[in-house]
Amino acid sequence: MRLRSQASRFFHLHKLMWCLLLLTPIVAFAQPYLNEFPFHQQTKYFDFRFKRNSERIKTIARFADGFIGVINRDFFPAGFDYPVRVLVLEDRASFQNCLRQQFSIANPPNFGIFLYQSNLFATYEDSGLGTFAHEIMHPLVERNLKDRPVWAIEGIPTFFEKFYGYWEDDRLTVNWGYQNPWRIEMLGTNLVQLDLKGIIATTQTPGDFRESDRRLVSMFLWQQGKFKRFLELVKSEDKNGYNSYFEAAMEMPADKIVPLWKAYLNDIAANRNEIMRLPPSAIFQDKEVFQRFVTQYRIPTVKQRL
């Protein structure tokens, strides 16, 4: 009994020490560093902190709440510990320096990062709306789609990084399903050789498959009209008798899907020049301005295929 009591005390003391270690950096960081961000904007889902009062911040803040609304409305209930704090630095250099100095991240990313321990998203003004959408999807996926396959850790968030849309009063309307030019360029001639069965079966991240490889799996599901079905199956943890959620969404085994996949990749390769001309993700003030934009750049208005 005494040994058990001592073991119990040791366990609880060990657990307390770990909690203190986890909490200490956050407490030390919280107030002093936030004082360096003189501007603050609170929205329904986010707590924005920034160093200069730029119009871009207002655009990002409005989009951020609208984006969560779109996910709730069109994809899955996006439950989380709102509001999420967002630090917006002036430029990429300031953003990366912040991560090195305040968060001890030796090799910071180029655009944005979500820090789970602090419930905080860090980025900079010109990183783009696509960056915000991609990075904020990471915690939403991990919280709400707990049984997502390994490929979908990046495959789902990267899907949401490319879009065009517009505001209808306070309602955000978004067109999805666009390839990302820099990802297609990076894939090069290897594009048509991508191994679908290998990607959906992978158990490692990053492993042998890059973000861009994994994004194409989500894009393929969208093109087939099965993306939302895939999300629903992951949410309910129901493979419907198949080996994977991907196959369950497609309602056929992987061997039968592969020919469709190969045809999809060949179609992307055949339209590479048109893809490379796509402009960055953008949201416009109303439908009229949006229509002028898509006409000017010859952007197909992708029908919503959920």
As given in the structure block, the two tokens for residue 86 are 């967002």
Per-domain residue ranges for the chain? 14-144, 169-280
Q: Which CATH superfamily is domain 14-144 in?
A: Collagenase ColT, N-terminal domain (3.40.30.160)
- Could you list the pLDDT tens digit for every one of the 306 residues in the chain? 443 444 444 334 443 433 433 344 443 344 467 888 999 999 999 999 999 988 899 999 999 999 999 999 999 999 999 999 999 999 999 999 999 999 999 999 999 999 998 899 999 999 999 999 999 999 999 999 999 999 999 999 999 999 999 999 999 999 999 999 999 999 999 999 999 999 999 999 888 899 999 999 999 999 999 999 999 999 999 999 999 999 999 999 999 999 999 999 999 999 999 999 999 999 999 999 999 999 999 998 865 444
Distance (Å, rounded) from C-alpha 163 to C-alpha 86?
21
DSSP-assigned states of every residue in 233-268: HHHHT--TTSSSHHHHHHTS-HHHHHHHHHHHHHHH
